[in-house]
Structures are given as C-alpha cells and as structure tokens.
Chain A
Amino acid sequence: MKTVLKLFMEAPWSGRFGLLVIAIYIMLAVFAPVLTPFGESEIVADAFEPWGGAYLLGTDNLGRDMFTRLIYGGRNTIGIAFLTTMLAFLVGGVLGFVAAAMGGWIDQLLGRLVDVMMAIPTLIFALLILTITGTSIPVLIVVIALLDSTRVFRLARAVAMNIVVMDYVEAARLRGEGLWWIIWREVLPNAMPPLVAEFGLRFCFVFLFISALSFLGLGIQPPTADWGSMVRDNATLITYGDVTPLLPAGAIALLTVAVNFVVDFFLHKTSGLRDEH
C-alpha cells in the first residue's frame, strides 16, 4: 500500500490521473454486487426509460437497468481482458525466454511460426477461428491470448536476447544451472520493466479487441453484460441525440487512456532509474 502511495505521489498529473482512474475501475469491478440496485440481467422496466428516478441512467433495449449493466459490464470486460493478457504473457513470455536462452532450431521454429501467425491480421484470424469453434468465454480467452502471445513472444525474445549474453548468465551456465533457473532467476528479473510496460499496452489492445468483437456480436454473449455489446444494443438511441450508448464506449476509452498514461509514466520512471547507474 505504501509503495502504491509513493508511486502516486511522484507521478506527473497524467500518471496520477491514470492511476486514480484504474483504482476506481478496480473498486467498481470488485464491489459491483454491492453498488448496483438491480441484478445483472434482471428486466426491471420498459425498454429505453429516460435517465433519473429509480433508473439512474435509464434502461436498455430490453428494459434492464443501464447503471447496473454498466458496472457489471466493466467487471466482465476488464476481468476477461485481464485473464487473456495474463495467459498471453505466460505463453508468449515463457516461449520467448526459452527461444532466447536455447537458441538453435527451437528459436528458428518458434520465430517462423510467429512470423506466419503475424502475417494474418489479428481480427480476421480471430473471426476465422471463432467461426469454427463457436463463441464462448473460455474459447474467446484462449484464442485471443494465443493470437496476442505472438507480440509478447517477439518482445520477450528480443529483451532476453540482450540478457543471455551477459557475464552473469554465462557464470550461471558455467555453474551448471538448468534452463529454468536461468530463465527464472537471471533473465526474468532483468526483463521486468519493459515487460510490465508491454503488459499495460497489451492489456489495452486486448481490451479494445474484446470490446470490438462484442460490438460485432461475436464476443461476450448475452445476457452477460459487457461494454462492447451494450454499445451495439443501444446504438439506435444515438439517432435521437441520446448519449446513453456513448457511456460504455466512453468507459472503454477512459480506461485505455488511463492505462496508456500510467505506462508512459512507468517507462519514464524506469528509464530514469537506469540513467542514475
């Protein structure tokens, strides 16, 4: 807690803003059931009730409370995006480190595989796979994580390449340490700053990607609330000058901007620390 507070104090205004927004989003997601007046997919009134009264932000196209869905939507979308990014980092990071540490044909094989996967645009690749497998949340997480792990692999490999040639890695090898020791105890700690920054950026990408898929009706399926499909379901209101459908879209935008600000600040901080050495 103390370190978070310290981090907050030394951040510039954009970094503070980002940290604050992220903290609020996490609180809302964690305490969603306490904060919401209705159930996630409970139909409480007629469709498209106006703002105010019992329904703070009105109701959606099926008569569900907009405010409730907005908070639950955040919880679902952020949770799924976070899991996906974690999985992508686990797969891409481990494979990238292994490729760098072992070199040779494993490195070549993984490298070419990733090249081919990256030659197909992610959205198109994901749509193609989802046509066959059908859409469900576990499938969505695995598919997007695997597609995204190619980017993580590239970065992890590039970063680790510079580390495995260091003397201390050489010393560890001569001591007779195994592959996992070298990856876990020598490479990982030194590769942390760029990977943490990349985690923020990849999270934004995955988050936008899942929202786009849901917006297209091919991501998170109803009745589960999520921001992308909420925009789609209520989009007709825009033509009457009602800004309600922009709320979930704006919520997405605000979070990605916040994460980008924090990543920016983090990169400055870590590169600044390196200058002092």
Chain B
Amino acid sequence: MPQLVKMVVQRLALGLLTLFVVSVIIFLGVELLPGDLTEAILGQSATPETVAAFRRELGLDLPPHTRYLEWLGNILQGDLGRSLANGREISELISWRLYNTLFLAAIAAVIAVPLALVLGVMAALHRNSLFDRVINITTLTSISFPEFFVAYILILFLSVNAGWFPSISNVGSEMPFWDRVFRCILPALTLTLVVVAHMMRMTRAAIINLLASPYIEMANLKGLTRTRIIVRHALPNALAPIINVIVINLAYLVVGVVVVEVVFVYPGMGQLLVDSVSKRDIPVVQSTSMFFAGAFVLLNLLADMLAIVTNPRLLHPK
C-alpha cells in the first residue's frame, strides 16, 4: 500500500503545481503578449491622464508579483473582481452560469458514458460483424464533424422538422428540474455525439486487447458464453484504461460546451467567455479561463489517479 499512497501523493502534488503554473500564465502571461490592453479598450485617442487613471484602477501600475499575490489572495476568498464591461461583480456573473454549465455537462455525461460502454462492449462482442463496421464508420465520421454541424443537424431534424425539442435552451433560474432537463436535451445530445465515439472505440480496443490472454482462453475452453467471458472476465480487467478515457472525455465535455452553448444560446460559462473575449473584458476572460483550465487540469489529474488506484499490480503488492 505505501507505494500506492506515494504515487497518488506525487501525482497530486504535480497536479497542484500545474494548477499554480496555469494560474500564473493566465494572469501574468497575458502581459508578455504584444498589444496594449489599455489602448485597445480606451482607443488610441485616449489622453495620457485617462490611460494612467485606467491603469491605476486596474492595478496595472503595480509590479507583477504584487498583483499576482493580491489576485490569488482575493480569489481564495471568493472575490474575482469586477467586469470591465458593466462593472458587475464577476463572482455574481459566474455563479449561476457555472451551475448551468455543470448541469449541461452532467446530463451529457449521464447519457454518453453508459451508451459508450454498452456500444463498446457490443462492438467487442460482435467484432468484425456488420454491426461493428457500421459503428466504426459512424464514430469515425462523427469525430470529423464540427460540433456546430452536429448541433444544427439535430436542430433541423428534432426541433424544426419533428418539433419534439426546443431549438433554444434558454433556461431560467426558477425553472422546475424536468423542464430544465427537457430544454437541455439537444445540447446534451450534441455533446454526447461528440464524445461517445472516442470512449466507445477505447472500450472496444481495451477489451479486444485482453481477448488473447491465457485466462480468456481458459474461460473459452471451459465453455462459457461469449457474453459472460466479456462481461465477467474481460471487462473488469479493462476497467483502468476505460475509466481513464471516460474521465478525459469528461474533461473534454467541460471545455466542449463553449461552442454548443453558443449554438443553443444556453446561459453558461462558455457563452460568457465568448462574449467577454469579443468585448475584450479581460478580468472576466481570466476568471472563466481559469475555471475551464482548472476543471481540465483537475479532471486529468483524477484520470491519472484513478489509473493508479485501479492498477491491480499496485493494489495487491507482493
């Protein structure tokens, strides 16, 4: 066990270090870039006095490390600063959208993960059959599609032609739970189609990889059915890579919502980020980027840790 604990702690420390470096890049790295933000926002005709006042207001006149530490301290206390565009508290802007984004990603995950597992196991079970080939081609194609293409096709067929689901997911804060789920169906389906392919292919590959092992042959010779061999004998041993790819895809889901939220006018973090980038509202862009990058880093960290924890060689050391 101590070896396992040591590896987990090491990976955790590395993850925290990454988070720290990412936050430094997001908050200070932007200064190394060409282009002056003050000039971009105030216009080239701004007087030196306005520029100086604006820099003071943003704290741009202080040395970088002071600003970074101050910002870090504020963030840890839940104070994200104010938006440049409308002067509102960023934490206020974000909290409700954060909930929406996580809600959408969760619905997509609830649909996508079981679907990918079932399809992957079925494809492994009936490998090289027509079913396997059809799934293979469909998933290869869906990986190549831009997200908005998938989204608009779904809107065209399920919303405009069939009239089953709303084409705009404008959820409100007072909406009952199932109403909300209903309005999130199309964006969630889009995200599902985007991530299922990868997860399903990895599941199939992980299982097929194991089928040549002696213990599978043993099970085969015992006369077990193919379903039982795959579900009872192969699947548990293939879990580590499968869990890994699932968590990586969840990380992708959190980031992938950006485009999908814009298509469906869904009030989430992605929508906020895109709006703020076009308004060059740098404090909001930094806060939302930090959220997305943080979620991405943490989920990848989780994937690595699960891979360590589910490794039988580390769980049962000799």
Contact = CB atoms under 8 A, between A and B. Distances in A.
Contacts, number: 134
B162 to A, nearest CB: 11
A128 B274 contact: no
B156 interface: yes
Interface residues of B, number: 48
A116 B18 contact: yes
Interface string A44-62: 0000000000000000000
A120 B152 contact: no
A215 B259 contact: yes
A218 interface: yes
B18 A124 contact: no
A129 B32 CA distance: 10
A204 interface: yes
Given A218-B278, A239-B167, A260-B144, A132 B35 contact: yes
A127 B277 contact: yes
B258 A215 contact: no
A131 B282 contact: yes
B25 A131 contact: no
A250 B148 CA distance: 10
A228 to B, nearest CB: 8
Contact of A256 (B26, B145, B156, B161): B145
B160 A239 contact: yes
Given A211-B146, A216-B259, A133 B25 contact: no
B22 A120 contact: yes
Contact of A204 (B144, B155, B161): B144
Contact of B285 (A131, A240, A250, A257): A131
Contact of B273 (A127, A239, A240, A257): A127
Contacts of A240: 160
B214 interface: no
Contacts of A120: 22, 25-26, 289, 293, 296
Interface in B2-54: 18, 21-22, 25-26, 30, 33-35, 37, 40
Contacts of A208: 144, 146
Interface string A247-264: 001101100110110000
A35 B164 CA distance: 41
B173 interface: no
A216 B258 contact: yes
Interface in B91-138: none
A5 interface: no
- At the interface, is chain B mostly helix, strand, loop or mixed? helix
A133 B152 contact: no
Interface size class of A (residues with CB under 8 A): 35 or more
A218 B259 CA distance: 12
Given A116-B21, A212-B146, A217-B274, 8 more contacts: A119-B18, A119-B297, A124-B273, A132-B35, A132-B282, A215-B259, A246-B156, A253-B146
9 A-B pairs with the lowest CB-CB distances in the bound complex, closest first:
A249-B149, A256-B144, A121-B255, A257-B144, A124-B292, A253-B145, A132-B33, A120-B293, A133-B35
Interface of A: 115-116, 119-121, 123-125, 127-134, 204, 208, 211-212, 215-218, 228, 231-232, 235, 238-241, 243, 245-246, 249-250, 252-253, 256-257, 259-260
Interface of B: 18, 21-22, 25-26, 30, 33-35, 37, 40, 140-141, 143-149, 152-153, 155-156, 160-161, 167, 251, 255, 258-259, 262-263, 273-274, 276-278, 280, 282, 285-286, 289, 292-293, 296-297, 300
26 contacts: A116-B18, A116-B21, A116-B22, A119-B18, A119-B293, A120-B296, A121-B296, A127-B274, A128-B26, A128-B286, A129-B30, A131-B280, A134-B35, A134-B40, A208-B146, A216-B258, A218-B274, A231-B149, A238-B160, A241-B156, A253-B141, A253-B146, A256-B144, A257-B140, A257-B144, A260-B144
